Structure 1
Amino acid sequence: MLKTTVSILAIAGALAATSTLHAQDGQWSFSVQGGPVYSTGGDVHRGPSFDGSVLLGLDPGSLPVDVDAKSFDDVYGDFMELSVEAIYRKDSSLSYFFGLRQMQSDEGILRVGTVADSLPLNGRFSDYDDLGLYGGVRYHFVTESKWQPHVSVQLGIKEVDEITASFSVPDVTFVDPYQGALTNAAFYDDSTVWSGGIGFGLDYRASETVVLGVETGFYMQEALDDNDSVLDVLGLGALNDEGDMEFMPLRFVANFEF
């Protein structure tokens, strides 16, 4: 009898302990997330060739310019991301979430082409900065340990700040009005774009109310709104007919349940 009672108490204790490893049905929580974002696809601009003789007041056809296509990774390198998220746990396996997220990177300075077969054509692109709202659903693979993997799908909308571009050749001054026009020239307008993707993550229950985790995934956003007001003057209106991006974040998550 005593052994049976002890066994029942042990099983009940184990079940009680296990129950604290999982969020309760109908429970709300919020999380803070942040980390680097790696661009995996998408170009900032194309790579056309054109006659740049007008930039220096030379005879037509005397100054070939070759522009190289540059990706978001080429221009900006890694991005940084910060977000806050609210989560509703419908049951042990399913939760819904919505949040506010910012992604940012400092200006990009790089060589973007070649002038007269030897001179470098340099470009400077202003900071990348966006702010977006998103929502989605997350499926949790329930385990009897403190570790729980999950997958998610989400859809969102972003406001991306305008991007300007400056182009120069070392020790060379373009003739007016091109010197001024190609300094902080409009390149992409303020843009509203859709974004979405799938995520994969792993959570660790640190306490009854705190869950730590890491998440990555594959995401994309549609093309930015190009501004050709300056580029059209040089016949380069197609240079920035790009602006869509694919990316992979590495998010570190702190989730607080209440």
Structure 2
Amino acid sequence: MKKLSIVAALSLALASPAALAAGPQPGKLSLSVFGGIDAPASGDVHDGAIAPVPDLGPLNPALAGVSAELRIQSRGHDEIYDLATGYGLEFAYGLSDRSEVFGQLRYTETDDGTVQVGGAFVPALNTELPVYGTFSKYKALTVEVGYRHYFMQPGATRPFIAGRLGATQTDDIRATFEIPDAAIAIENVPFTEKKWAASAGVDVGVLIPVGERFSITAQAGVRYVADLEGDDSAIGGLGLGSINDTGSRVSVPVSVAARFDF
């Protein structure tokens, strides 16, 4: 009987929500530190355009008097940039043991990206030469607020769903365009300006209690950032001023966080 009593007491202690009560509580604050990856899914870095160039001489003196037609095609974030890294801080305030509001500061960065952006048709040669573009790092700072709802009772591993709204400041992007077969390069020119744009997202995830005031959170979601502001100071003269009037980004972030409840 004594052994049965001990086993029963241990079982009750392990099953008790108070033993691992990490997670939202009414009127309580929490701090989360997170990091992960952010995969671009859709959204164009630039649009397409067809622009005649009457004389290639200003770009390469050896081609003075030779005309061409630039045939630029649209290219997406997922075609130019690889996985981004993302990390940041989040503060949350519990509305109940199943819901909370939060504010989040997040930084996202990718490496430079290079891709063929189109071709340059040269009538004199009756051929189209490939045009390549290299775009500088995508770096963005996001400030958002949101609401998160948890399922199941405190003390257990708890799935949740969340929504968020805010703004994202994307650093200016510079570009280098090259036509290697014609020895033409337009190097490190302004492409988009540094700008704040609206952002939003949804998440699904799970909170895993580790202690009474500490838990691990894993989540994935979808993020949207609105269009950027094009800088035509260098490419406008080539008839390409319309290609950077875009820049919206849809991505899929996956992150892990350490959460501390107070």
TM-score by length of 1: 0.86
Question: Which sits farther off after the overlay, 14-23 or 192-201?
Answer: 14-23
User: Are 1:17 and 2:21 matched, yes or no?
Assistant: no
**1:115 match:** 120
Instruction: State the 1:198 CA deviation.
Output: 1.3
Letter in 1 for 2:226: E
Structure 2 residue corresponding to 1:184, chosen from 164, 183, 188? 188
Instruction: State the 1:67 CA deviation.
Output: 1.4
**2:60 match:** none
Whole-Å separation in 2 of the counterparts to 1:115 and 1:228: 20
Q: Residues 21-46 of structure 1: CA distance to partner in whole angstroms, max 9, x if unpaired?
A: 33333221111111111112110011
Instruction: State the 1:207 CA deviation.
Output: 1.7
Alignment of 1:85-164 (within 5 A): 85-116=90-121, 117-143=127-153, 146-164=156-174
**1:242 match:** 246
Q: Residues 197-242 of structure 1: CA distance to partner in whole angstroms, max 9, x if unpaired?
A: 1111111112222211211112211101111122221121111111
Whole-Å separation in 1 of the counterparts to 2:10 and 2:150: 25
Uncovered stretches (5+) of structure 2, i.e. residues with no partner: 58-62, 122-126
Letter in 2 for 1:164: R
Letter in 1 for 2:213: T
Q: Is the 8 A contact 2:197 2:226 kept in 1?
A: yes
Letter in 1 for 2:83: D
Q: Is the 8 A contact 1:92 1:142 kept in 2?
A: no
Give the 3-state SS of the residue equivalent to 1:20 in structure 2. helix
Whole-Å separation in 2 of the counterparts to 1:204 and 1:237: 50
Alignment of 1:174-213 (within 5 A): 174=184, 182-213=186-217
Q: Is the 8 A contact 1:45 1:242 kept in 2?
A: yes
Whole-Å separation in 2 of the counterparts to 1:147 and 1:15: 13
Q: Residues 137-191 of structure 1: CA distance to partner in whole angstroms, max 9, x if unpaired?
A: 11111236631011111111122110011101115334xxxx5xx2111110011
**1:27 match:** 28
Instruction: State the 1:125 CA deviation.
Output: 0.6
Whole-Å separation in 2 of the counterparts to 1:228 and 1:15: 64
Q: Residues 59-105 of structure 1: CA distance to partner in whole angstroms, max 9, x if unpaired?
A: 47x42322121001111121111111111122111111112110100
Letter in 1 for 2:256: F
Q: Is the 8 A contact 1:46 1:69 kept in 2?
A: yes
TM-score by length of 2: 0.85
Whole-Å separation in 1 of the counterparts to 2:93 and 2:56: 59
Question: Which sits farther off after the overlay, 216-225 or 114-123?
Answer: 114-123
Give the 3-state SS of the residue equivalent to 2:116 in structure 1. strand
Structure 1 residue corresponding to 2:84, chosen from 79, 88, 102? 79
Instruction: State the 1:11 CA deviation.
Output: 10
Letter in 2 for 1:30: L
More strand by share: 2
Identical aligned residues as a percent: 29
Q: Provide the aligned C-alpha RMSD in A.
A: 2.5
**1:221 match:** 225
Q: Is the 8 A contact 1:195 1:221 kept in 2?
A: yes
Letter in 1 for 2:156: K
User: Are 1:256 and 2:255 matched, yes or no?
Assistant: no
